[in-house]
Structure 1
Amino acid sequence: MAHRAAVVANKFLSLARQAGQTLTPMQLLKLVYLAHGWTLGLYRRPLISDPIEAWKYGPVIPTLYNEIRSYRSDPVSQPILGFHDTLSSDEDAVVQRVYDIYGGLSGPALSRLTHAPGTPWSQTYEPLSFGERIPNDVIQDYYVQRVKS
């Protein structure tokens, strides 16, 4: 069962807190997107139920963005209230692994990574339009290929 993006974001905030680190809104948005992508690639099922859109600086989850945008470029200092759900062991392992691999990258570095040529964002983004949805099948196809390589 797919979760709300804020549930996964809260898990990343918890991992960062345990590691004595913080995450900015940009980092959090990209980490949730990456965990969703890798879950689609590894298990062929979505991690989050929220739609993902192709914005200028990469993929964005608008519902999550609206929850944390008040932090601007400051670290997200509190869990997102009202979003408590338990991840399966597979999902939890993907989130942990994504944090281990990508958690130390800056927001701009994660943005560059998620909107490089060939990514789902680059296949979807239209410079003159706003909020083009990135379909899960496009994300899954990309991450299935990444899993295989």
Structure 2
Amino acid sequence: MSYSPAIVANAVLTRANQRGIFISHLKLQKLVFFTHAWCLAILGEPAVNERPEAWEFGPVFNTLYYRLKERGHERIREYIESVDATTNAFATLVPSPADDRFWRILDQVMDRYGTFTAAQLSTLSHEPGGPWEQARLAGQAVIPDETVRLFYEGKLQ
């Protein structure tokens, strides 16, 4: 159950559109990260098949950044198209509706974090002792999944 950042981002956008939530590039990055983090903590599996990087404003999925960097702080309304491996055509892809575990966690993430601003989410992703801070202090460019999993599992207890 690991998806590209674009596919997880499309799932976040789907839920945001259903709920009337404003999503900017920065906010989308953080919601994808929190979805990834809680999937690791609850399911023991990553939601995203790319590791987040420890950038200045928190965890960032590099490929998602380069696809959306021109958007700035504006609202993202369109879904991200990817190449569908079965048809070899561009398509708007989201996780399968049959992936109940993913969608349940995403819904919990949207319930908990969806109404926060991008700045608030960035602050939350900089939590003292959190995965982003651990990676930055260790001089790591990439935040290891194990670091993310252990930190968010600790929040469950």
- Give the TM-score of the pair, scaled to structure 2: 0.88
Among 143, 149, 153, the residue aligned to 1:134: 143
- Give the TM-score of the pair, scaled to structure 1: 0.92
Quote the residue 1:117 is aligned against: 128
Among 76, 81, 89, the residue aligned to 2:100: 89
Shift of 1:126: 4.8
For structure 1, the residue ranges without an aligned partner over 5 or more in a row are none
Quote the residue 1:50 is aligned against: 50
Give matches, 1:1-149, under 5 Å: 1-82=1-82, 83-87=92-96, 88-126=99-137, 132-148=141-157
CA contact (8 A) 1:52 1:62 kept: yes
2:2 alignment partner, SS class: coil
For structure 2, the residue ranges without an aligned partner over 5 or more in a row are 83-91
Shift of 1:21: 2.4
Shift of 1:85: 4.0
Cα distance in structure 2, aligned partners of 1:89 and 1:132: 32
Root-mean-square deviation (CA, aligned residues, Å) is 1.6
Cα distance in structure 1, aligned partners of 2:41 and 2:60: 19
Cα distance in structure 2, aligned partners of 1:133 and 1:86: 24
Q: Which moved more, 1:83-92 or 1:94-103?
A: 83-92
Tell me the number of residue pairs that the alignment of Structure 1 and Structure 2 aligns.
146
Moved over 3 A (4+): none
